[in-house]
Amino acid sequence: MLKLAPSILSADFACLLSDIQKIERGGADYIHVDVMDGHFVPNISFGAPVMKALNDRTKLPYDVHLMIENPDQYLDSFVTPQTAFITVHREACVHLHRTIQNIHAKGIKAGVAINPATPVSSLECILEDVDLVLVMSVNPGFGGQKFIPSALEKVKTLAEIKRAKGLSFAIEIDGGITLDNAKTVMDAGVEIAV
């Protein structure tokens, strides 16, 4: 069964709580929190204070996606009782294994994301240590972009590695997901769709 993690990046920020309540009533599984710093990606979104303002106002767990440089410096800010995952980008982490360990040390499930131009092979050394792999199906930084079809091959490769090695990480996809392609990505091996 495909789990859904609507991104609050698509919400009306003037009505953020109302939009969160709508996705909760609609059956979402997570709230996807896209954090952008204007350096790693060419846009700025919001930080931990906005996310923390929603604490205790929703029962949905947070799926925090850090599209930022130096994520280790900010991890503590995103740890709340509702934080289920903190995902960092392979491309932003000089010492990825240490970052994953830091997330786990905080009692949070750790994820790693890859951009459209980053090969799955760059994750071989970390797949046994992560709880989630996020495949970007758009170039990160802006909502509303068109789905990049080559992301499906990455998902299929990850699903095969997961099966062959008996690993347990969840496969998530983010970018350009619509009602028209949700079944296609699920059939490829996606378990969580943003």
Which residues belong to the active site?
A: 34, 174
DSSP string across 48-84: HHHHHHTTTT--PPEEEEEESSSGGGGGGGG--TTEE
State the Cα–Cα distance between residues 29 and 4, nearest whole angstrom: 5
Q: Are the beta carbons of 4 and 27 closer than 8 angstroms?
A: yes
Which residues are CB-contacts of 126 (< 8 A; sequence separation ≥ 6)? 90, 96, 97, 100, 112
Torsional sign, CA 159, 66, 47, 38: negative
